[in-house]
Structures are given as C-alpha cells and as structure tokens.
Amino acid sequence: MTVQQEMKTLTHFIKGEEVAGTSGRFTEVYNPSTGEVIARVPLASKDEVKHAIQLAKEAFPAWKKTSIGRRVEVLHRFRQLLVERQDKLINMICQESGKTREDAKGEIVRGIESVDMAISAPQMLKGEYSVNVGGNINAFSAKSPLGVVATIAPFNFPVMVPLAITSMAVAVGNAVILKPSERVPISALYLSQLWKEAGLPDGIWTVVNGDKEAVDELLENKEIQAISFVGSTPVAEYIYQTGTKHNKRVAAFGGGKNFMIVMPDANLEQTANAFLGAAYGAASQRCMAISGALVVGKDTEQRFTEILKHKISQLKVGPYTEQDVDFGPVITKQSKETIIRYIDGAVTEGANLVIDGRHPKVCETSNGFYLGPTLLNNVTPEMTIFKEEVFGPARIVVGVDTLQEAIDLINDHELGNGVTMFTSSGAAARRFQEEIEVGMVGVNVPIPIPVGYHNFGGWKRSKFGEGHMFGPDQARFFTKAKTISERWPDETEDTTSSFAFPSNNDAKS
C-alpha cells in the first residue's frame, strides 16, 4: 500500500463531533522517522474559529453551573481512559513526533500529573470567609470560571502540554478551545475522543486546527477570556502583546537556554550521564533541555569534555521502532536544516567540533529527519550558538574560571527558563540558588522541571505574563474572584443614613 493511500484527512473537533475543515486550506503531517506524509490537517479560517467559539460560549453556562463534584467525576474517568489507552497514545506520539516509545510514555505520565492536579480543583476553588468584619457584616470570596478560554500547544509534547494547559481550565468550569501544533494534531484529536467518552459535555472541549489565521482570531475575538501558550520566545511575545492588547489574560511560555554548571568537586562520571539525557533526550526538542555546560576550571573542562566525547560517541539515533535507540529525528526537514546552520555557524565563529552529528549513518538508509548528537567546545558568549536557543541536538561546552563567572553569564542571558548545577558543596549550591536569575533551578538534578503540583515558569524572556503552567497558580489563572460583603439587619435596628466612609468598627456601616 502506498503512502498516499494510507494518508488520511483530519478534522476539527467541535461541539463533540469531528468536523471537516471548510477553508480549503490544508497542511501535511509527517512521520519524522520516515519522512513520509501520514495525514493532512485542515487550517481553519477566521469564520470557522468564530463558529467554534460561539458553540463553546453556548455550552459554557451549563458547565459553569455543574457541581465541582460532578466535574471531578469526569476528570477521574478521563484519567482512567488515559491510563487504559496509553499504548495507543504512545503509538500516536511516536508516529507524529518521532519520539522513542520510552520518551512518549514518560510524556504521558507527566501529562497525567496535570490531570491529577486538576482533580484537586475543589481544594483550589475554596474561598475565604470572615465573620463580623464590622457592623455585623460578614465578608467572603468566591471563585468563578472565566468563560471561553484558548490554549495553544507546541509540537514537542503532543500530549503532555495540551493536558498541562487545559485540564485545570476544564476542571474549574471553563469551556476550552485547544489549537494544537499543526505538526502533531493526531494526538490532540484523540484526546478529544477520550474527553467525550469520559462524559464531558459537548462544546466544553474544542480542537481547532490551524495556523496564524486561527491564532489571530483566538487572540482578537472578544469572547476569548484568556490565552495559555507554549512555544518559541518570539511567538510567545507576539501572543502576549496581541492578547493583552485585546484585554485578555495571557500566560505565554517561550524558549530557554538552559545551562548546567559543573563544579570541580562534582562527580564527573555521574554528571556526564546526567548531561546526556538532559541535553539529547527527545532530540533536544524540549524547552527544558540542557543547552550546554558551563564548566568551572580548565582542568575540569578538559576532563569533562573527554568523558562526554566518549559517551556521546556511543549514543544511537534511529526510528522509534528500534528498541535500543536513544533518541529519534527532529520534527521537520526545515528544523534539521536550521540546526545544521547553527553548527556550521559556530564552527565559522571559532568553535571546535568535538562530535559531529550532522550526517548520522541512519540517513544512509532512511529519509527521516535525523541528526546525531553534536558537541562543540571553545564556545564563547559572543557566539550565536551561545546566545540563541537551538531546538535540536547541538550542545556546547563553555569553560569559565569561577562559579561567579558562570552565574553572571547565565544572569546576563535574555532567557531564564531552567538551570542546574552539579556539585558536592552545599555552600556553593546555596550561593547558586540565591544569586541565579532563572525561574526553575536544580541542584544535582538533570532537568529541573517541577512536578505537576508545583508551578512551572521561567523568568525574563522565557515567560510573558504572570500565569504558570502546572501547579496551584493554574486555578487562579483560569478563574476570577468575587468578594461579597453581607449584612442582615434586625427589623428594629436604626437604618438612618450615614455619609461616612465604611470602616471596620462596630458601628453600623
């Protein structure tokens, strides 16, 4: 059977149904492991997005009035379906993103953490109550859902990020519209089926596939109350500026240049093992991937580089169908070409190519978008490969003389997503934690990504807006607070007017 015969045309998911695209515009979905087209996905027009928003708006009031206990029942069933259908989800992730099966499974597990956090929504929605704040008045607060909210997900986590940015929004009573990456729409559409099977009312979960035209409608449409986005820094900034211009609440998570500081007292063998997985896992297509090592001391730098060189040379790149593969391809041919340009540029600027992964052996037998692990040293802060995020397996080693120099280099960088440090010195670790200007910090931890019940978010140009992904702050982001002052006067009470500003004394207010 030919690829063309196997290729299917995907849909949107609107008001509980698969809905064919009507714009006449489509883009192709590739299997990065083979380079083959596996589907085509519709790109929604502004009118299609408006229609989806209107249907979500109509569904919202009933879901808002649904008891939190009932909502949590739906979340429980949805979670169970994620566990039961895990193998099917793994296959989808592998097929459309090129991840290894182990990596895809890990993504699902982390996504389920976000559902677990959403199941705790009753705790997150509790208000406050004060008795007799003055004049026999009781004051209390209540939290309400926003209405229709939009979420825009990246290609690198087809399941985890959609779950992370939507689960709490659904749990606290919103109607959610997801715009997945057009590179990986298959998993998102399958999540739609699971939500429906779990009993979520039609219209509360919507998937609209599309490109910038669809995104702009979500950003500008007055019915959309909030936007949660994950992607590159330039797009995150655009989402934030455009969304807030249209009076929306926005949390836009951008890229990272995440360094690992290696101290002379670190166990270099263990640190190198930690670096490998954190730097090259998922073909380095993670916003929390380690971008490079800042190694303190010339001797430490030389020894660490030699250890890395030996270990990296043993890594295997290939398709997810092979059992012993460490990581797979990058997402597109264009991504591969961009990463090669970064490598070529670094060499031109004076970096030394320790391991060259531009032409892995697997490319001799496959049309997949493969790059092997690349390592460069003699990299300086003035080089482009140091300044910019490289979303692929090209990692760097930078020598520094002191811990303070490493901290200063990181603090001076425009991105501040994650950072980690390997050391056996508690004093050095404490200084590092206190002085570093980065949102997520690790000590002897390869990737300092928080678990689902802690807030996730970088600093500087790695995050725009005050919302967080994961954690209790999500419930705040997707709700609005109402404060109520209540008094029930006795029939015999004096009710003459008072023109004094209300105060918290015992007199009538």
By DSSP bridging, strand 36-42 and strand 8-9 are parallel
Contact 161, 288 (CB under 8 A): no
Task: Could you list the beta-strand ranges (E) of 10-128.
Answer: 12-14, 17-19, 26-31, 36-42
3 state SS for 378-437:
CCCCCCHHHHCCCCCCEEEEEEECCHHHHHHHHHHCCEECEEEEECCCHHHHHHHHHHCC
Sheet containing 17-19: order of strands: 17-19, 12-14, 205-207, 175-179, 148-152, 224-230, 249-253, 463-464
* Tokens 């390997």 belong to residue: 422
Query: Which of 188, 198, 287, 294 is an active site residue?
Result: 287
Dist. CA 28–CA 221, nearest whole Å: 27
Contacts of 411 (CB under 8 A, 6+ apart): 435, 436, 437
Buried b (16+ CB within 10 A) or exposed e, 73-82: ebbebbbebb
Residue 223 DSSP SS3: coil
Spacing of C-alpha 3 from chain mean position: 32
Q: How is residue 135 written in tokens?
A: 């004049």
Dist. CA 270–CA 276, nearest whole Å: 10
Active site residue 287: yes
CA angle 154, 157, 158 (to 5 degrees): 85
479, HSE (Cβ side, Cα atoms, 13 Å): 23
Dist. CA 221–CA 208, nearest whole Å: 14
Among candidates 50, 58, 364, 360, which has minimal Cα distance to 217? 50
Task: Write the CA distances from 74 to 33, 110, 118, 219, 316, integer angstroms.
Answer: 36, 19, 11, 29, 42
Contact 348, 302 (CB under 8 A): no
Residue 9 DSSP SS3: strand
Contact 98, 31 (CB under 8 A): yes
- H/E stretch holding 316 reads none
Contact 107, 481 (CB under 8 A): no
Buried b (16+ CB within 10 A) or exposed e, 117-131: bbbbbeebbeeeeee
Catalytic positions are 287
